[in-house]
Structure 1
Amino acid sequence: MTSILDQHEQASQIYHRNKPVTEPMTSSGFINMQMDDNNPIFSKQKMNFNPSDVITHVTVASDFLVLAMANGKLFRMDLKNPDQHEEIEYSKFYPNGKLTGIFLDPLGFHLLLVITDRNKDGYPELVYLHRRSGKLKSVSKSRNYEVTEVGWNYENTSESNTGPILLGTSQGHILETELEADSDKMFTANQHYWRQIFDLGRGTDMPITGIQFHRIGKSNKFFIFITTSTRLYQFMGPALVTDGKLSLQSIFYPYLTTPETGFLEIPSTLKYSRLQFYFDKTDVPKIFAWLTEPGVFFGQLDTMSQQNSNSVFTHGDLINYPAVSDPTQVEKAPISFVLTEFHVLLMYSNKVKAVSLLNKELVFEETFSEVHGQLKSLIKDPKRKTIWAVTEKAVFRFKVMREDRNVWRIYCEREQFELAKEYCQHNPAFTDIINVKQAELLFTKGQYQESASIYAETQNSFETVCLKFLEKDELHALKVYLFKRFEAIDDDNKTLISMIVIWMTELYLSRLGFLRRTGNENSETYHQIQSDFEVFLLHPKVMKCMQHIKSVIYDLMSSHGDQQNLIKLTLMNEDYENVIEQHIYKKTYLEALNMLQNLKKPELFYQFVPTLIEEIPKQTVNTMIAQGARLNPSKLLPAFLSCQSDELHVTEIIRYLEFMLQNFNMKDKAIHNYLLTLYAEYDNKTLMKYLERQGMDVLMVNYDVHYALRLCREKELTEACVKLSALLGLWEAAVELALRVGLSLAKEVAGMPDESEQQRQMWLTIAEHVITKNQDIKEAMNFLQECPLIKIEDILPFFSDVVTIDHFREPICQSLEEYNNQIKELKTEMEEATASAEYVSSILLLILFQAFQFSFILSRKFCNLSDLIPGIVRDEIQSFRNRSALVSVTDTCYLCDIALLLRPFYLFPCGHKFHADCLLTEILPTLCKMPFCSIELTLTYMDQPCFLLISLIRYLKKVIFI
């Protein structure tokens, strides 16, 4: 529990802010917020530990604390296990000795005590104590040397060996040695070697107050910092490695024979000074600080890139000690100090102050109560980075809380904006303030483009920033700002995106237009701006925005007369319609046609072919032919109809339509009608060939025959009208028209009808035309020979009354002779038909008679059978009496498949065999139930009389048994 006294001390702690937040955040889009942490950067906490006597010395490393007290005892404690601590008495071994220094290696295992004689009569002693031992051991070769500082080896990882270390003495000597504990676990000190490698005093006493050495990068080169009360020395050089052992002596070789140089001197009346290093997370030294009387001198260390340099520190600066609040008082210099990344903590006899390394201002002050005694030391654990303040009666630990919280503001005020952004902890409000100040600074310096780039990252008003650049007429900087803002805008803010895209397009077009007007179209500047403009148009967000505002951009480009960029933009947006329109606008028809050909989009052909075929008909038709079946000629008809201005255009249109008909067998009636119209208008010969190819079947032709006939009549194309009239079956009209053309065409038409009567009527028409016109008997006779359908009697009425019969004697006799022959042929045919009929009826009656022997039935109706059977039938009956048929034992009935000879049977002339009962069973249902109709005589039954018998029975039942 914290005591009342401790609470009073904490309440009295003074925490100084760097600077309150006073600037309004009107330039930012962020809300006003608390920008500093109210908690102090440094705060102390007293350890629950009461030493047995006054503390005189202290050291700490790797959470291992060692205190030396006035009663001659050492107090050792593992800070991780505070309950495990011990006290070791050292004064009984050196009763006249006085402890002047205590040093602990970074690992916390090797402790060195420096003891001098109180009476100045004896020799100083260097005592070694291992962490796991309570036995003190004197380092034998250290006599005559009063060690004032130890330079530990930070690369050492051994718990039993210190590795090469450097010792500084009160005379200014630099010693190199290596200490190792005995293997018998007595942990006595064995020095492998002990040698003096340099003398800073050069014969005069110059106490060493600080030693630090570290490797430079990953090389074999080291740097060594050594301080006295007034000087800071820097040594650099390669270390010597022998049998795996490192030796630092070689580093000093170059300095043995040179004048005393390579040091920094600051006058001081103090008998002491302090040297401190700050290490980053990888234990690489980054900052050093040297406490002197005027102040703390510090600088940045660069051990990675300074391998070939003579110095490893840069940006050295001196921090003056903060002034006291009461000007009448004079405050002594600090006794000790600790270096952190951004601050230096100064220890006075009764207080601790923290000063910023960046702005050198006091940020913290802590006064210690007199109850705890005076401050004895302020130290830092080199491994754990913890800070400890030790008074005569207490031990305090300082806690560091976000010491970089205000670093960004300091860097910002120092115009180190990149560092300010690095340390603002990604706070958007802080980052915005930094960017605003950086942009304003660049703007005041005239670096407008750089300023615009930074302004785009701020939350400043868009309009305000744009006006700043417009007032300066810095359009290029404005363009940079707009593009940066454009990239940062969220995709949902479509309005602002559209506005920026339009504005930037205007800026690019204006600049390009100005260069064109001034004759700089081929300059490098023009090409660079053009390239930037094309890159801008290809930006994904721009391309997406173009889908909504492309018409505005097109109009904008058109207003600037920039057809080249307009075509490029339409190509980027795949707005090919506008591309072709622009080519047509520029009258670059071939480029427009090439674009159409490469795109292979039929819908664009239908749109632009009317214009292109009007301007370049041959090339346009060639392109359409190359498209083949991708184009529908029916959709091109409006384009064809709009450009029939001369024979050249018509020829190319006919060429295209003929190609489509020949190669793709087009059936569209509109196409054929249009082609037929062109033929009728411009090429009559080809029209007749076309009609011939289409054929004479009205159902198979692809054009409208009635339209074609009407058209040909209007154009007075008689021959075509003849063809079309014949196709429609208008034979009389066809012949009449053909007679106007020529007799041969009329005769050809007369032979077309399938019906002979129609042909005859047409030939009579031709004959009437020929005879009434010429009255040429010889020609009429030749005409009779050509057409066998007409006779002399058909043409006689066409002759005039003056023509006598003598002129037709021969044709008339020939005609009568032909009629006589026809009469004879008809008579012969009639006789043959009569004989055939008698024969067929006789055969039928004979079959009926033999099959059923219906004599008893017939006797009832007829008195004499011979009245029914003619002579030819009697002859047939007589022939049947002499006929016979063989029946085999294996023969079976055709109905039941049982042996025929088992029961009475019928044998028919055709070869069929039936049992009598089977045949009766088969016939009775037919006689009783089947309707009576005419005899069913078929080819099948003619070869099977037995089945013909059944049909005859049906007939006789109807005729006889009525």
Structure 2
Amino acid sequence: MTSIFDQYEQDSQRSKQVAPPPIRPDISSTGFIQMKMKEDGPIFTKQKVNFLPPDKITHLSVSSNMIVIAMSNNVLLRIDMKYPDKPEEIDISKYITNMKLSGLFLDPLGFHLLLALVSKHNDNPPAELFYLHRKTTKLKQAGKFRGHEITAVGWNFGNTSEVTSGPILLGTSKGLIFETEIGLDGDKIFNTSLEQYWRQLPNYLPLYGNKEVEGLVFDIGKASKPPITGLEFHKIPNTDKYIIIVTTLIRIYQYIGSVSSSDEKPLLQQIFSKYLNMKERFNQLESSLPYSKMQFFYPGPGAFPKSFGWLTETGILYAQVDPKVDPENVLVNQQMILCPETSLIGSGTSETGLAPLSFILTEFHALLLYADHVKGISLLNQDLIFEDIYNDAFGKLVNITKDPMTGSIWAYSERTVFKYKVIKEDRNVWQVYVDRGEFELAKQYCKDNPAHVDQVLVKQAEMLFKNNDYQKSAMIYADTHSSFEEIALKFLQESQIEALQVFLKKKLEGLKPQDKTQITMIVVWVVELFMNQMGALRGDQTSHLHNPKYTELQKQFDSFLAIPKVEECIRKNRSTIYDLMASHGDKDNLIRLTIMHRNYEEVIRQHLYKTNYMEALEVLKSQANKDLFYQFAGILLQELPRPTIAALIAQGSQLKPSKILPALVSCNSDEKHAKEVIRYLEFCVYKQGCQEQAIHNFLLSLYARYKSDEVMHYISSQGQDVTMVHYDVHYALRLCQEANLTRACVQLSALLGLWTTAVDLALTISVDLAKQIAAMPLHHDDELRKKLWLKIAEHVVREKDDIQEAMKFLQHCDLVRIEDILPFFSDFVTIDHFKEAICNSLQEYNQHIQDLKEEMEEATKAAEVIRKDIQAFRNRCTFVLARDTCNTCDSQLLLRPFYVFPCGHRFHSDCLVAALTPMLSMDQQTKLADLQRQLTTISNRPEDTNSVISVSLSTKDQIKADIDDLVASECLYCGELMIESIDKPFIEEGDYERVLKEWA
């Protein structure tokens, strides 16, 4: 048999195309383009299975890719989708004689199959239940349930065993619910657990006819005995609770409870037991249909169900499954979805009164099965979005089902099997949620599509704007790509300044650092808005500070200024922002802003503008930019001289006095300021050791004007060496002359070497001062000293006419004699006044003459001794023996010309010259070389005439005599040259290696 799933065909079907809302022009300008490479196909696509059944299909069940098909010829077709080319045919004719198949139930794993059989004509034979395992082809009868028509099976979705089904629930046509566990043991069906259930059942057992029903756990209808059309149970994740959902033709029941032990049997009896004596709770919908259908949607294999649907004549009761909302009701947000009466095929088609035969649920849609077509409706807005018309050749549609594990959808008619493929069913979900105003859900289903997200945000913002929730609207508008100008204008038209601020600040957050123009525009605008608001609240200079609204506005403004992006923008556009604030007269915020951005220059300017000099000084002291001290010290010194000088002194060596000097010069207009300036200059000079001449000159000028008594102290501290003082002496002398500080002028004149002037000035003050100047050891000119003392003596004699005082000068200065001062006295002075002085002077002269005589006698004696020595030396001779050798080369002395010294040392001429040359100076060496060259030249001349010979000889002798003066003036070993060379090494540095080799 060829594969039955290898070919598919498309049949007649219609889908409602949902066009997305148009993209606004402003969005397209920002990069969002509404473009599709191809049209999206329908959400549901039908594929016909290439399969021709031998007889009519009556039932089909699918789970875990295992499909079981039942046909009217009593043949089961079991197909594993992993091996679609190998279907299994199972003949069940012998098991269903005079019976028909009423239900086909396959467990979630696809291993356990239950077949419910009923009599074709009457109750004889009674209803039967058969079991078929996946690994066998033989049906096994479940005899315990004989006589009960099974209409619903609640499979155990937590079961993972391929051998047993685990605890399951069976619902009957009489409203009874059984709990059992079935499986296959070899060729026999085992149901031992059922007997265990029977033994553990409580004493209360509802009656079925006139006998007790074994294995029964609950009776839904009790007296009415309605057939059970749907039955499922699930364990709530991470709890010990179970939920059991049961539906009948018109009712839906919920049973919720905890299970104390999962090993206890019967398992679910623990839940049903609490409802035995309670009034039943159910939802009821009137319906005349002989059937109802229950479906769940599972988000994944083995997952807890997400939604629930129940089909009745009225429509589909749809609800979300959430056990967290209400402990007694897990079906929340219930709504009735009406079955569509219109058709997508033909605008006027209507199906009034027709109810679907069956349906299945997907995440957002429901597929409704009718006799000849299938419709798809949205669970969100109940729109008909899909319709599929079936050909009569396929026969009537029988049912539609869904694989609970894989989610595949199967529909089948009497002759054909179809499969529906779901393609991007959530593609338009976001639009539905937008229309319903559920914007958060809409964002979740935009699939990170920026264009769709933007449209959702725009719709949400528009709704909030209409509801007058302007600030939230602004927050969301800022996240959209709507026209900036359009949105800003909307808020301005409504006078919603706060919302506009929110919009601008949020928009600012989304800008990148490179968007400098946009950032600057928004920052300036927001600052302007804040200035306007705060200006409106600022009634006067103090009352607004206690206004809570103003305080809150100030906090918001401070927070805005603290944003890093705003700080950077203001730093780059500082003047613009400052001018803006200044134009609103908001000096407080301007100062706060400048402090925040460490623009201390502007902070100080603002304080000075507001005449807050002390605050300006405090800011100046707290910052680290020393240039600001030079810039603002002048203004602050005028207003706060003492605190400012204290601040300058506190800075110590960090400030350069020469740079602060202009400020100091500008504020010494009165004594109060001058004294503070002097205090700083004294700190610089005496504590910091400043040597800058301008500082010393300025200090000296202030001393001369305001503290003249300090001038002499200052001059004395600088010393009496004109090259070592740090002030301009000439400038200082001029200042002192202008200030009539004569004593200081005396000192300065002496410092400049103007001794005569200094003495003249000193004599105007006191003779003692003039004596001090004359006695100063700074001059060594005896003639000058004598002149100064004579000037003092003349002053004393002529001005004071004090002869005794004049006589004392002879004791103070040894250069002055009585005869020097006699001309200063008048002609009428008698010699008696000078008798003692003249005698002393004559005695000194006499003693001096005697000393000179003695020196002359000693010189004469010495000269006589020298003459005798010279005479004796002329007659002295030295004997040279043939065996005598040169003291330098140890060769015989008589072999070459030689020198003999009085000390007895003998040297060859060439040896002496060679040894003596290194000891001579460079000039002497040059002269010696020149003499030797001349001697060689003369010696090589031819002897032509006697005159020439005599001239040459005399010249030659002179040259030799000059050479002798250079090399033979003293002994090499005994003369001064040897003494001077005592510090020279015996071996020259370059001769070390040679000498070491010779010694070795």
Task: Please report the TM-score for the alignment, with normalisation by the length of structure 2.
Answer: 0.85
Amino acid at match of 1:427: N
* Deviation digits for residues 466-508 of structure 1 (CA, Å, limit 9, x no counterpart): 2222222211111111111111223333222112111111222
Q: Work out the CA distance in 2 between the residues paired with 1:349 and 1:90.
A: 28
Aligned-pair distance for 1:657? 1.6
Task: Determine the structure 1 residue equivalent to 2:619.
Answer: 595
Change (3 A) 1:128 1:696: same
Task: Determine the structure 1 residue equivalent to 2:718.
Answer: 694
Q: Does 717-726 or 829-838 show the bigger shift?
A: 829-838
**Counterpart check, 1:192 vs 2:193:** yes
Change (3 A) 1:246 1:823: farther
Task: Determine the structure 1 residue equivalent to 2:504.
Answer: 482
Gaps of 5+ in 1: 855-890, 950-962
Output aligned runs, 1:74-473, within 5 Å.
74-120=76-122, 121-182=124-185, 184=186, 186=187, 188-193=189-194, 195-241=215-261, 243=263, 247-261=267-281, 263-281=282-300, 283-303=303-323, 305-306=324-325, 309-325=327-343, 326=348, 330=352, 332-473=354-495
Aligned-pair distance for 1:649? 1.7
Contact 2:292 2:311 in 1 (8 A): yes
Output aligned runs, 1:677-826, within 5 Å.
677-752=701-776, 753-826=779-852
Q: Does 249-258 or 340-349 show the bigger shift?
A: 249-258
Q: Does 354-363 or 828-837 show the bigger shift?
A: 828-837
Change (3 A) 1:631 1:214: same
Change (3 A) 1:724 1:22: closer
Aligned-pair distance for 1:354? 0.2
Output aligned runs, 1:13-32, within 5 Å.
13-18=13-18, 21=21, 29=29
Aligned-pair distance for 1:920? 9.3
2:658 to 617, 629, 634: 634
Aligned-pair distance for 1:583? 2.5
Q: Work out the CA distance in 2 between the residues paired with 1:907 and 1:936.
A: 15
Q: Does 234-243 or 271-280 show the bigger shift?
A: 234-243
Q: Does 265-274 or 115-124 show the bigger shift?
A: 115-124
Task: Determine the structure 2 residue equivalent to 1:661.
Answer: 685
Q: Work out the CA distance in 1 between the residues paired with 2:216 and 2:275.
A: 14
Q: Work out the CA distance in 2 between the residues paired with 1:590 and 1:941.
A: 90
Q: Work out the CA distance in 2 between the residues paired with 1:169 and 1:948.
A: 145
Q: Work out the CA distance in 2 between the residues paired with 1:265 and 1:228.
A: 9
SS in 1 for 2:103: strand
Contact 1:28 1:458 in 2 (8 A): no
SS in 1 for 2:93: coil
Gaps of 5+ in 2: 198-214, 917-927, 933-959, 980-1000
Change (3 A) 1:845 1:143: farther
Q: Work out the CA distance in 1 between the residues paired with 2:967 and 2:859.
A: 18
Q: Work out the CA distance in 1 between the residues paired with 2:961 and 2:227.
A: 155
Q: Work out the CA distance in 2 between the residues paired with 1:196 and 1:840.
A: 166
* Deviation digits for residues 79-117 of structure 1 (CA, Å, limit 9, x no counterpart): 122112211111222322211100111111111111122
Q: Work out the CA distance in 1 between the residues paired with 2:562 and 2:249.
A: 68
**Counterpart check, 1:38 vs 2:40:** yes
Q: Does 432-441 or 379-388 show the bigger shift?
A: 432-441
Q: CA RMSD in A?
A: 3.3
Q: Work out the CA distance in 1 between the residues paired with 2:307 and 2:707.
A: 102
Contact 2:888 2:907 in 1 (8 A): no
Amino acid at match of 1:446: N
1:502 to 524, 541, 560: 524
Change (3 A) 1:942 1:797: farther
Contact 1:277 1:286 in 2 (8 A): yes
Q: Work out the CA distance in 2 between the residues paired with 1:663 and 1:110.
A: 106
* Deviation digits for residues 346-383 of structure 1 (CA, Å, limit 9, x no counterpart): 00111110000111010000011112222112111111
* Deviation digits for residues 368-420 of structure 1 (CA, Å, limit 9, x no counterpart): 11122221121111111111111222211111111111111111111111111
Contact 1:37 1:405 in 2 (8 A): no
Change (3 A) 1:660 1:848: farther
Contact 1:291 1:297 in 2 (8 A): yes
Task: Determine the structure 1 residue equivalent to 2:957.
Answer: none
Task: Determine the structure 1 residue equivalent to 2:888.
Answer: 895
Q: Does 288-297 or 831-840 show the bigger shift?
A: 831-840
Q: Work out the CA distance in 1 between the residues paired with 2:856 and 2:978.
A: 28
SS in 2 for 1:547: helix
SS in 1 for 2:261: strand
Change (3 A) 1:253 1:824: same
Contact 2:9 2:48 in 1 (8 A): no
Aligned-pair distance for 1:172? 0.4
* Deviation digits for residues 554-591 of structure 1 (CA, Å, limit 9, x no counterpart): 12222333333222211222212112222223333333
1:64 to 63, 66, 81: 66
Q: Does 557-566 or 247-256 show the bigger shift?
A: 557-566
SS in 1 for 2:380: coil
Change (3 A) 1:920 1:575: closer
Change (3 A) 1:571 1:559: same
Amino acid at match of 2:156: N
* Deviation digits for residues 811-862 of structure 1 (CA, Å, limit 9, x no counterpart): 22222221222122223223333433444565466556546489xxxxxxxx
Amino acid at match of 2:245: F
SS in 2 for 1:674: helix
Amino acid at match of 1:89: D
Contact 1:275 1:291 in 2 (8 A): yes
- Equivalent residues, number: 903
Q: Work out the CA distance in 2 between the residues paired with 1:947 and 1:511.
A: 104
Contact 2:26 2:481 in 1 (8 A): no
Change (3 A) 1:532 1:416: same
Task: Determine the structure 1 residue equivalent to 2:589.
Answer: 565
SS in 1 for 2:55: coil
Output aligned runs, 1:859-870, within 5 Å.
none
2:607 to 580, 583, 586: 583
Change (3 A) 1:942 1:356: closer
Q: Quote the sequence identity (%).
A: 46
Change (3 A) 1:26 1:545: closer
Contact 1:297 1:319 in 2 (8 A): yes
Contact 1:712 1:720 in 2 (8 A): yes
Q: Does 250-259 or 939-948 show the bigger shift?
A: 939-948
Q: Work out the CA distance in 2 between the residues paired with 1:725 and 1:938.
A: 59
Q: Work out the CA distance in 2 between the residues paired with 1:249 and 1:946.
A: 139
Aligned-pair distance for 1:772? 1.7
Amino acid at match of 1:617: P
Q: Work out the CA distance in 1 between the residues paired with 2:266 and 2:873.
A: 146
Change (3 A) 1:582 1:618: same
Aligned-pair distance for 1:787? 2.1
SS in 1 for 2:637: helix
Q: Work out the CA distance in 1 between the residues paired with 2:915 and 2:584.
A: 108
Contact 2:365 2:379 in 1 (8 A): yes
